[in-house]
Amino acid sequence: MAIFTRLTVFRYLLLAVGLLTLSFLVWHIGPVHIYEAVARFGPGALVVMLIPSVVMYVLEAYGWKIVLGSTAERISFGKILSIRTAGEVVNMTTPTAYIGGEPLKAYLLQRHHIPMVEGLASVVIAKTIMTIAQVLFILIGIALAFWTLGAAGSSLQMTAAALLSAALLSCGIAAFVLVQRRGLFTWLLEIFRRVGLRMTFLEVRAEKLRSLDRTILGFYAHHQSAFYASTGLYLLGWLAEAVEVFVIISFLGGPASLLSAIAIGALSVLIKGGTFFIPGSLGAQDGGNLLLLRAFGYSDLTGMTFALLRRFRELVWIIIGLACLAILGKKPPGSQRPKS
């Protein structure tokens, strides 16, 4: 409990530092200048800016639907999209390293007549596939950044640091997939037992955990075409984020190319992922985006406005996600608690 309290205090401290950092960046560049840049953007451009993220959410929801397989026939695609959006808002707004919303997705699937084991298995697999696609997107972005910026000075250092980070992330994903193939939840249960931690909640569900591992293993063994199709859809979803970068920079009046937009989008994703321990990556993500755009030759004003517009997009999806969560959380009249 004491450790948890210290971690909570530490995260609040990071949040305060992030807020101060963001405030300083806005003050340094000039709130009036930023406001004028956003005002020139216009409401129509704001709507256009949101289209790529809509495409991204739809593609990723369909990638998850493929993972669900035949069980997806019990639920409409609209519900799958709503459940994913509700889960992602928990990932974005809680200090859980972008995984806190995953159990919620499985629970909401259960409320729509998909057994907990199948739901949890699909969530674990989909999260793994999403991260694999994310790494591929980052690697593509690093290659394009190296080609676009050349191999000199700070550009080379930035590309090398990004490549090292992507390599470490790739190793982590490979290890995670390997553990899944050997029984992730059973392995975790054995680890707890060996260190002397007898967790009653897990012990009484040992058989269900083994069933969960068998379901995950069965997907990797017998549904390879679904795995590749889902990975392709998630990768297209990440590429949609690069289109958003292209749209924002174009409307801000800066010279934009699709290749540099992919590089910026991928490296921006890497920055956000690397600062997950800061609530909302506040300050770090914004400062990182500013420096990233500066490396590609854009002004500080363009970089800061770009960062704030992406924050606006996140806020829109948080509102949509909360609305989905409120609607999905309503218990239908006469419904009974689903069995797992």
pLDDT, tens digit, for every residue of 89-147?
888 877 665 677 888 999 999 888 888 889 999 999 999 999 899 989 998 988 888 88
pLDDT at 27 > cutoff 60: yes
pLDDT at 334 > cutoff 50: no
Q: How many CA atoms lie within 13 A of 194 on its CB side?
A: 6
Helix (H, G, I), strand (E, B) or coil at 227: helix
Q: Which residues contact 324 (CB under 8 A, 6 or more apart)?
A: 82, 83, 85, 86, 89
Confidence (pLDDT) at 39: 80
Closest CA to 56 of 247, 240, 228, 229: 240
Residue located via tokens 């985006």: 289
> Which residue has better confidence, 253 or 152?
253
How far is the C-alpha of 229 from the C-alpha of 306, rounded, in Å? 32
Count CB-CB contacts under 10 A for residue 204: 9
Count CB-CB contacts under 10 A for residue 263: 28
How far is the C-alpha of 213 from the C-alpha of 257, rounded, in Å? 45
pLDDT at 1 > cutoff 60: no
Contacts 24+ apart (CB under 8 A), 216-225: 216/121, 216/124, 216/125, 216/180, 216/184, 217/180, 217/181, 217/183, 219/67, 219/69, 219/121, 219/125, 220/125, 220/177, 220/180, 220/181, 223/69
Helix (H, G, I), strand (E, B) or coil at 315: helix
pLDDT, tens digit, for every residue of 175-212?
777 777 777 777 666 776 666 666 665 655 667 778 88
CB 260 within 8 A of CB 144: yes
How far is the C-alpha of 66 from the C-alpha of 146, rounded, in Å? 34
User: Can you read off the two tokens belonging to residue 131?
Assistant: 């991260």
Q: What is the percent of the chain where pLDDT is above 70?
A: 81
pLDDT at 251 > cutoff 80: yes
How far is the C-alpha of 120 from the C-alpha of 130, rounded, in Å? 15
Residue 175 to residues 40, 195, 235, 239, Cα–Cα distance (Å): 47, 21, 20, 25
Confidence (pLDDT) at 208: 77
Confidence (pLDDT) at 262: 94
pLDDT, tens digit, for every residue of 285-303?
888 899 889 888 899 999 9
Among the residue ranges 5-19, 167-181, 315-329, the one predicted with the least confidence is 5-19
Per the prediction, the chain carries an average pLDDT of 82
pLDDT at 11 > cutoff 70: no
Closest CA to 13 of 283, 270, 268: 283
Residue located via tokens 């800066």: 254
Confidence (pLDDT) at 5: 65
Model pTM score: 0.84
pLDDT at 317 > cutoff 90: yes
Confidence (pLDDT) at 28: 80
Helix (H, G, I), strand (E, B) or coil at 297: coil
What is the DSSP secondary-structure string of 134-198?
Answer: HHHHHHHHHHHHHHHH-SSHHHHHHHHHHHHHHHHHHHHHHHHHHHHHH-HHHHHHHHHHHTT--
If pLDDT is split at 50, 70 and 90, which confidence band does 49 have?
A: very high
Q: What is the largest CA-CA distance in the chain?
A: 67
How far is the C-alpha of 136 from the C-alpha of 143, rounded, in Å? 11
Residue 198 to residues 90, 142, 168, 189, 209, Cα–Cα distance (Å): 29, 45, 32, 9, 15
Q: What angle do CA 326, 233, 180 make, to 5 degrees?
A: 80
How far is the C-alpha of 37 from the C-alpha of 254, rounded, in Å? 12
Confidence (pLDDT) at 239: 95
pLDDT, tens digit, for every residue of 223-248?
999 999 999 999 999 999 999 999 99
